[in-house]
């Protein structure tokens, strides 16, 4: 008998299109890469362990505050008493109402100052009551 079925199947992976695939991936990562953009004022964040992630970047307001009692919101230096009004406006924005306030406060800031900011947030009410103290992840 003859075994003609022993056909030689090509077992190699075709590599001709490999550069194309890799280029596609490359272009994806090039487009997706954001070189750390910095907005706000330089602060040294405190470290903590029990931390949670913020749900996305939309509907989040950032308040930057450093140890010299300077506050920055949306790339502008603001006075403490302006915060409540600013946040109130953000809360009542129809397109993207404020949900969470991320507080990027320097670890050397004084609590008296931090409390004043919180009082302003309480004044604004609504979504501004949800605060998130931005921290680094503490190393064990």
Task: Choose, by CB under 8 A, the member of 8, 53, 76, 140 that binds other proteins.
Answer: 53
Cα(84)–Cα(90) distance, integer angstroms: 10
**122 interacts with other proteins by CB under 8 A:** yes
DSSP H or E segment with residue 114:
helix 111-124
Task: Please report where in the chains the tokens 């890469």 appear, as a residue.
Answer: 33
Task: Choose, by CB under 8 A, the member of 29, 76, 94, 139 that binds other proteins.
Answer: 29
Least separation in angstroms between CB 8 and other proteins = 25
**41 interacts with other proteins by CB under 8 A:** no
Binders of other proteins among residues 7 to 26 (CB under 8 A) are 15, 18-19, 22-23, 25-26
DSSP H or E segment with residue 20:
helix 18-32
Backbone angles phi and psi of 63, in degrees to 5 = -120, 120
Cα(99)–Cα(90) distance, integer angstroms: 9
**30 interacts with other proteins by CB under 8 A:** yes
For 11, 36, 86, 91, the CA distances from 58, given in Å and listed in that order, are 50, 18, 17, 13
**82 interacts with other proteins by CB under 8 A:** no
Task: Choose, by CB under 8 A, the member of 14, 35, 79, 95 that binds other proteins.
Answer: 35
Summarize as ranges the residues that interact with other proteins (CB under 8 A).
15, 18-19, 22-23, 25-26, 29-30, 32-36, 46-54, 57, 60, 100, 102-103, 105-112, 114-115, 118, 121-123, 125, 128-135, 137-138
């Amino acid at each position: 008998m003859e075994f003609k079925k022993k056909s030689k199947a090509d077992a190699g992976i075709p590599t001709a299109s490999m550069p194309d695939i890799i280029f596609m991936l490359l272009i994806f990562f090039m487009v997706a890469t954001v070189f750390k953009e910095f907005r706000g004022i330089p602060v040294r964040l405190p470290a903590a362990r029990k931390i949670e992630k913020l749900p996305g970047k939309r509907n989040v307001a950032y308040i930057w505050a450093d140890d010299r009692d300077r506050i920055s919101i949306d790339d502008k230096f603001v006075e403490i008493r302006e915060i409540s009004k600013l946040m109130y406006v953000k809360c009542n924005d129809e397109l993207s109402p404020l949900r969470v306030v991320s507080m990027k406060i320097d670890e050397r800031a004084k609590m008296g100052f931090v409390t004043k900011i919180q009082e302003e947030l309480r004044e604004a009410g609504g979504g501004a009551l949800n605060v998130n103290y931005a921290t680094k992840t503490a190393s064990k």
